[in-house]
């Protein structure tokens, strides 16, 4: 709004108004605030007057600055601010500044400041018992407004499509920016921002958000839900430096961002859930707190449930991404990306769950979807896999060499596979896929991380699951330009051939290299990095049954020497 009165200017105006406080009552009917003859005192109210609208319709017109100490609207009264109409109130103690039992329609600007509290309930900036509605372009500015800046009672219906800015709340116990005991709607163009205080938003009844709510720098939880909160598809909730607490029913269809990055002791968790939390939108918890999500019982023993139906991102938690003592469900349409361990409880995955934790997990997993255990930190004894678990590959990846049985695939009844790629930001085909087999091409060979495209058939959810290549030996790529003369410079002899359990090798001209044995269909049967270049003895694995095999000797220049060997068992 172009016409904005600063706090300093407001205080100067208030100071120069009448010094005698009286109760000023509207005489009834419809009229404008600035009409002196419509008021019981015959004068326009001042900043020291208690104003009551008992009957009629009062309009604060464009360009008028209205003043009052308090404003009470009874159940038969209505007040409206036009688009450039302004109400200025401030410097009060232990009072409700605007108390609405009727109807309030706000198109203009309300400014409140320096409302101090000495009692348990103290100052309330706006207390609504009936209908309070703000429209697009309107503003409510509250600076240091006591105990409850906005209180919507159990009979109240508060609809916001304007901007509500609440800053610098008095640092006393239980100061709350927005308190809802009734029905509260933040509309699609509505914006609420709360800075400082104990809690930013507290809801115990019905709160619907279709616009944007932002909470920053609170001493306690930023958003507390003990009723029914719904964040709609168009809704955004941003929380900085503290957490969301849910003990009843919280449903997200839009965007929720919980971001903590300045104070490692600001919160024990990003999201504390002891009720039912359903995520149908996108929930991002990027926190340095102990836990990203703490899914736990409350003081009353209520059993918590967390359900993810869409996208959940858990990043940077200090101890664990999820601390779970009850039910955590990722549905067939759900996608979770978690970068720290999961501790406790039962987790059921029916969708796609990607874990990049480098710490051991400690939870019970029932998996009927696709679980990407990128660094192999699941506990096999507490894992019930009914579909697909993707874990690291033992490398190295070599061009044209197939890798079979690399997926922990119990069933593909609800899963389909796409391309193997490297570099998700600029996907390059890494090789060909056959059922539970991967054959690297020239791009994929030698890489330390490859991705497999996986789709959950029942929901159509598609993501790339990463496989880390655990490579105890140096990666040696075949160099197609290597000449025959270079290949022949290594003299290799093997004996006995055929062999049974032991195979002796003699070679010269080699500084360092890798010995590998492959079956005729390309399966890697044995590999070892040799350090004794005067000769080596290979103990043939029991998995090598009688048959013909190919032994390859590779040096770090990409030069390959091959020998055919035969095993007789």
Distance CA 79, CA 75 (A): 11
Contacts 24+ apart (CB under 8 A), 223-230: 223/199, 224/199, 225/249, 225/250, 225/275, 226/202, 227/180, 227/203, 228/203, 229/203
Band (pLDDT 50/70/90 cuts) for residue 518 is confident
Distance CA 530, CA 72 (A): 89
pLDDT reported for residue 282: 98
Angle formed at CA 441 by CA 439 and CA 445, multiple of 5 degrees: 90
What dihedral do alpha carbons 255, 261, 263, 264 form, nearest 10°?
100
Task: Output DSSP code: residue 38.
Answer: G
Contact 395, 470 (CB under 8 A): yes
Q: Which of 25-34, 104-113, 288-297, 455-464 has the least mean pLDDT?
A: 288-297
Band (pLDDT 50/70/90 cuts) for residue 124 is confident
Q: Which of 154-158, 434-438, 473-477, 502-506 has the least mean pLDDT?
A: 473-477
Contacts 24+ apart (CB under 8 A), 506-513: 506/535, 507/533, 507/535, 507/553, 507/561, 508/533, 510/553, 510/555, 511/555, 511/556, 512/474, 512/555, 512/556, 513/476, 513/553, 513/554, 513/555, 513/556
Band (pLDDT 50/70/90 cuts) for residue 271 is very high
- Residue 18: beta bridge partners? none
Whether residue 89 is predicted with pLDDT greater than 70 in this model: the reply is yes
Q: Which of 102-116, 123-137, 150-164, 426-440 has the least mean pLDDT?
A: 426-440
Distance CA 136, CA 513 (A): 72
Whether residue 481 is predicted with pLDDT greater than 70 in this model: the reply is no
pLDDT reported for residue 373: 95
Look at the pTM and tell me if it is higher than 0.85. no
Distance CA 274, CA 293 (A): 11
Burial class (CB in 10 A: 0-12, 13-18, 19+), 137: middle
pLDDT reported for residue 116: 60
Task: Tell me which of 228 and 97 has the higher pLDDT.
Answer: 228
Task: Tell me which of 393 and 245 has the higher pLDDT.
Answer: 245
Name the one residue in this structure whose structure tokens are 């009692």: 119
Task: Tell me which of 12 and 244 has the higher pLDDT.
Answer: 244
Check whether the bond before 496 is cis (ω within 30° of 0).
yes
Whether residue 484 is predicted with pLDDT greater than 50 in this model: the reply is no
Range list of β-strands (E), 356-414: 362-367, 370-373, 383-385, 388-390, 393-394, 403-404, 408-409
Range list of β-strands (E), 130-190: 131-134, 139-145, 148-152, 157-160, 163-167, 176-180, 183-186
pLDDT reported for residue 91: 64
| Maximal CA-CA distance, the chain | 119
pLDDT reported for residue 7: 41
Distance CA 310, CA 280 (A): 5
Task: Output DSSP code: residue 26.
Answer: B
Band (pLDDT 50/70/90 cuts) for residue 274 is very high
Report the SS3 class of residue 7.
Answer: helix
pLDDT reported for residue 298: 78
Q: Which of 64-78, 473-487, 542-556 has the least mean pLDDT?
A: 473-487
Calculate Rg over the CA atoms of the chain.
Answer: 35
Range list of β-strands (E), 94-147: 96-100, 103-106, 109-116, 124-128, 131-134, 139-145
Q: Which helix (H) or strand (E) holds 536?
A: strand 536-539
Contact 429, 443 (CB under 8 A): yes
Q: Which of 15-29, 101-115, 370-384 has the least mean pLDDT?
A: 15-29
Task: Tell me which of 456 and 3 has the higher pLDDT.
Answer: 456
**Mean pLDDT for the chain overall:** 84
Q: Which of 35-39, 125-129, 257-261, 352-356 has the least mean pLDDT?
A: 257-261
Band (pLDDT 50/70/90 cuts) for residue 113 is confident
Task: Tell me which of 196 and 285 has the higher pLDDT.
Answer: 285
Contact 491, 507 (CB under 8 A): yes
Whether residue 293 is predicted with pLDDT greater than 70 in this model: the reply is yes
Range list of β-strands (E), 391-535: 393-394, 403-404, 408-409, 415-422, 428-434, 437-440, 449-456, 461-470, 491-495, 502-508, 513-519, 524-530
Whether residue 352 is predicted with pLDDT greater than 80 in this model: the reply is yes
Q: What is the pLDDT of residues 170-221, one digit of tens each?
A: 555 578 999 999 999 999 999 999 987 788 999 999 999 999 999 987 777 8
Band (pLDDT 50/70/90 cuts) for residue 349 is very high
pLDDT reported for residue 281: 98
Task: Tell me which of 173 and 360 has the higher pLDDT.
Answer: 360
pLDDT reported for residue 1: 43
Band (pLDDT 50/70/90 cuts) for residue 42 is very high
Q: What is the pLDDT of residues 391-420, one digit of tens each?
A: 998 777 777 888 888 888 888 889 998 888
Query: How many residues are recorded in the chain?
Result: 569
Whether residue 335 is predicted with pLDDT greater than 50 in this model: the reply is yes
Distance CA 49, CA 268 (A): 47
Angle formed at CA 179 by CA 174 and CA 184, multiple of 5 degrees: 170
Report the SS3 class of residue 298.
Answer: coil
How many Cα atoms are found within 13 Å in the side-chain-facing hemisphere of 168? 10
Band (pLDDT 50/70/90 cuts) for residue 239 is very high
Report the candidate in 84, 179, 95 with the shortest Cα–Cα distance to residue 139.
84
Distance CA 34, CA 30 (A): 12
Distance CA 497, CA 517 (A): 14
């Amino acid at each position: 709004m172009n016409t904005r009165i600063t706090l300093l200017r407001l205080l100067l105006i208030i100071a120069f108004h009448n010094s005698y406080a009286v109760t000023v009552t509207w005489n009834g009917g419809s009229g404008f605030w600035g009409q002196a003859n419509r008021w019981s005192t015959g004068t326009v109210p001042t900043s020291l007057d208690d104003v009551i609208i008992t009957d009629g319709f009062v309009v604060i017109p464009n360009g008028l600055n209205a003043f009052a100490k308090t404003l009470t609207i009874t159940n038969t009264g209505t007040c409206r601010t036009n688009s450039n109409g302004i109400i200025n109130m401030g410097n009060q103690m232990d009072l409700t500044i605007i108390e609405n039992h009727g109807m309030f329609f706000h198109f203009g600007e309300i400014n409140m400041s320096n409302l101090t509290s000495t009692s348990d309930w103290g100052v309330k900036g706006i207390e609504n018992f009936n209908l309070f509605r703000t429209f697009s372009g309107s503003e409510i500015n509250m600076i240091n407004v006591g105990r409850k800046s906005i209180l919507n009672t159990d009979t109240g219906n508060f609809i916001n499509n304007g901007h509500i800015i609440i800053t610098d709340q008095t640092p006393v116990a239980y100061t709350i920016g927005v308190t809802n005991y009734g029905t509260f709607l933040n509309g699609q163009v509505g914006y609420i921002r709360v800075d400082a205080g104990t809690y930013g938003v507290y809801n115990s009844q019905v709160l619907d958000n279709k616009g944007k709510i932002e909470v920053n720098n609170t001493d306690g939880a930023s958003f507390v839900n003990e009723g029914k909160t719904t964040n709609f598809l168009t809704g955004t909730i941003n929380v900085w430096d503290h957490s969301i607490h849910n003990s009843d029913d919280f449903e997200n269809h839009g965007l929720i961002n919980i971001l903590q990055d300045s104070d490692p002791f600001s919160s024990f968790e990003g999201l504390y859930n002891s009720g039912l939390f359903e995520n149908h939108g996108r929930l991002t918890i990027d926190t340095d707190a102990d836990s990203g999500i703490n899914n736990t019982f409350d003081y009353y023993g209520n059993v918590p449930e967390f359900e993810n139906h869409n996208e959940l991102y858990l990043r940077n938690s200090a101890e664990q991404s999820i601390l779970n003592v009850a039910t955590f469900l990722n549905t067939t349409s759900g996608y979770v990306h978690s970068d720290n361990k999961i501790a406790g409880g039962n987790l059921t995955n029916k969708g796609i769950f990607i874990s990049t934790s480098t710490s051991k997990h400690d939870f019970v997993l029932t998996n009927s979807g696709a679980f990407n255990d990128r660094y192999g930190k699941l506990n096999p004894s507490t894992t019930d896999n009914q579909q697909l678990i993707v874990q690291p590959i033992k490398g190295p990846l070599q061009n044209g060499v197939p890798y079979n049985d690399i997926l922990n695939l119990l069933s593909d009844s609800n899963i389909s596979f796409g391309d193997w790629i490297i570099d998700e930001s600029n996907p390059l085909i890494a090789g060909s896929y056959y059922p539970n087999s991967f054959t690297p091409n020239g791009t994929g060979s030698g890489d330390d991380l490859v991705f497999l495209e996986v789709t959950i058939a029942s929901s159509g959810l598609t993501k790339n699951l990463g496989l880390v290549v655990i490579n105890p030996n140096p990666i040696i790529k075949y160099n197609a330009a290597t000449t025959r003369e270079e290949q022949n410079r290594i003299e290799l002899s093997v004996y006995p051939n055929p062999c049974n359990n032991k195979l002796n090798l003699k070679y010269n001209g080699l500084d360092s290299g890798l010995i590998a044995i492959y079956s005729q269909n390309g399966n890697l049967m044995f590999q070892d990095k040799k350090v004794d270049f005067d000769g080596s003895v290979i103990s043939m694995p029991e998995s090598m049954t009688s048959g013909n095999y190919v032994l390859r000797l590779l040096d770090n220049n990409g030069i390959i020497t091959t020998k055919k060997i035969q095993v007789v068992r």
